[in-house]
Amino acid sequence: MPCDGPLPGSPEDWLRYSYSDLALARVQRSLEILLEGLCFHAQQAAEKALKAVLVAKGFPFPKTHNIRTLLDLLPQDVIPPPEIEDAAGLTDYAVMSRYPGDVESVDKEEYLEAVRLAEGVVCWAERLIRK
């Protein structure tokens, strides 16, 4: 029986999940959809893309949503460009912005920046893995 998709847990599988989160971050927004939720999916896309790179390079990673932690785990021969380093700021959307409370609302400009950063990480990760 042929395999229809990537092997579970493979770099390609992690990328598949990353693409899904990126698509959710880009969804056509209605009044019921909070920008905070869309930013969460942008963060998830970047997180899963970085985990895809780590899997591809054979480096284990802890269960974390912290983008900075994942960037710091990259092997020395993988040097992310500055715009990928900037994605560490997406970590704030992993938990805090998902729940009501004392967190400031996300505006459209901030949301668009979150998506731009996530797109950059996903594209960068894809290029590294597909080499």
Domains of the chain: 11-130 (1.20.120.330)
Its pTM surpasses 0.75: yes
- What's the rounded Cα separation, in Å, for the pair 44 and 20? 9
How far is Cα 73 from Cα 59, in angstroms, rounded to an integer?
Answer: 8
Give CA–CA dist 27/111, Å, rounded. Answer: 12
- Per residue of the chain (131 residues), what is the pLDDT tens digit? 456 777 889 999 999 999 999 999 999 988 899 999 999 999 999 999 999 999 999 999 999 999 999 999 999 999 999 999 999 999 999 987 777 777 788 999 999 999 999 999 999 999 999 88
